[in-house]
Every structure is written in structure tokens, then in C-alpha cells.
Amino acid sequence: MKLGFISDLHLSENMPSVTEGFFNFLKNASHELSHLYILGDLFEAWIGDDDNSKLATNVMQSINNASQNGLEVFFIHGNRDFLCGQDFAKKSNLKILPDPFFMNFFDLKIALSHGDDFCTNDLKYIEFKKEVRSKQWQDKFLEKSLDERLKIASNMRDVSEASNNDKDINIMDVTSKAIDQFFEEHHIDLLIHGHTHRPKIHQSDTGTRVVLGDWHKTGWCFFLDDQQQDLREFKL
């Protein structure tokens, strides 16, 4: 048994090399891994399960193919693809997990998260997340046409990028207080998350924290089995 963890691929039609790299990764993963956990931001944006674009269709089909070949695939929402729903899960043949999600493997109590909830100093983002995760906002958004949703999503990305450029980079990282509280509250051995795009394995007295990397010219995956813990970067 071997587990793999990835996040922050930000798949879009503007980055076909990353999408192709993901498809190749899935082909290999179906042979190398027993479980694959995608910890959010698989897509740069997801505007609803009725998205019939070539990108959405091909990604769901590729995940489904890997699943049919024996790979168990799991997904946690990110801040870019929180609208992925049960139709997406069914077409991809994967299971959507809550954030955080707890599990036990190899005598370790493990927690999985996208990671944005640990960025407690980013008050503007916290306010934004509260708004867009509300049922009222999502229902209103999904009532709109696909074209309207695409325009809104594009505008939201532009606003987000402009806002992030004005922020201190440390504000967008996790806080040690939030991490320490999480370890103490849940008595875990290992926390795996993405979101911050700062890949590293952090060791402390409280436990191990693995931060996954974003995919661009290279991909990142954390591999876990009963023999090793390996955060690996690879060319796409």
C-alpha cells in the first residue's frame, strides 16, 4: 500500500503542459499508488458541474480511467474549486472528503486539509471565503449561465491577484499559532496540506507538517508508505 498527495495544480486551458503532465502522472500513479489524495485547487477555477469544456471533460475522464485501473482517488475542495460537486465526483469516480479529514495509516494519525484555514492573518481572504462558501452565494452564482459564470470567475481571479500583490507575503502563509492549536486539539502525528505553494516537510515537537507544492514547470507529490515519507518534485 502506497499513498500519494498532490494539490494546487491550477489546471486551466492556458497551461496545457500542466494538464498533460497531470494525465501522465495519473497513468503512472495507477500502477505505483493505491490511494491518491488531491488536496484542493486541482483547477484554476470550477464554475459548476455543468461545465462542458474540453478541459473539464478530459480531466474527469482521466481521473475516472485511473480509478478504473484500481487507484482510489479522493478530493478536498480548495479555494479555486470549492464548487466541485457530486456530479463531478461521479464522473471522475472519486470521493469528496470534508476539510479537515482524519485517517489512520501506518500507525500514524493523519490530517488532510487544503490549508487556507491556517492562514489566520489573511483577514480579507477569511471574509471572502465566508461569503463565497455560503449556500446563498453559491445558489445565486449557479443560477447564472455558463458564460456569465466564466466572466465572474475571471474577474474574481483578477481581483484576487491584485489583492495578493498588495499583501505582505507572510500574511498569506499559515500561522504557527493555528498550526500548533490544530496539532494539540486533534492529537495528530502528521498534517498534510497545500495552498501556500511553499513545499517543505516541517518537523517539530508536536509532529510533522507536509506542505505540498504547486504545479507549473514541475509537479510535486508527497509519497507515504510503511517505509518512507518522500516529498518529491518532478518535471512535467
| Domain ranges for the chain | 3-235
Q: Which residue has the higher pLDDT, 182 or 158?
A: 182
Q: What is the pLDDT of residue 167?
A: 67
In single-letter form, the type of residue at position 230 comes to: D
How confident is the model over 111-168, as pLDDT tens digits?
999 999 999 999 989 999 999 999 999 999 999 999 999 999 999 888 877 777 666 7
How confident is the model over 102-112, as pLDDT tens digits?
999 999 999 99
* Greatest CA separation for the chain: 51
Classify residue 214 by its DSSP letter: P
38 pLDDT more than 70: yes
> 213 near 199, Cβ under 8 Å?
yes
What residues pair up with 201 in beta bridges, in sequence order? 210
Q: What is the pLDDT of residue 170?
A: 74
Instruction: Say how far apart CA 138 and CA 121 lie, in whole Å.
Output: 25
Give this prediction's pTM.
Answer: 0.95
Helix axes 16-32, 54-68, angle to 10 degrees: 10
> What average pLDDT does the segment 187-215 reach?
97
Domain 3-235 has CATH 3.30.460.80: no
Retrieve residue 11's grid coordinates.
489546471
φ, ψ dihedrals at 198, nearest 5°: -125, 70
Res. 54 pLDDT band, cuts 50 70 90: very high
In the chain, % of residues over pLDDT 90: 91
- Average pLDDT over the chain, rounded to whole? 95
Q: What is the pLDDT of residue 91?
A: 98
Retrieve residue 27's grid coordinates.
497513468
For cell 507515504, the residue is: 224
> 212 near 198, Cβ under 8 Å?
no
Instruction: Say how far apart CA 139 and CA 47 lie, in whole Å.
Output: 12
75 pLDDT more than 80: yes
Sheet holding 3-6: strands in order across?
95-96, 72-75, 35-38, 3-6, 218-224, 229-235
How confident is the model over 87-104, as pLDDT tens digits?
999 999 999 999 999 999
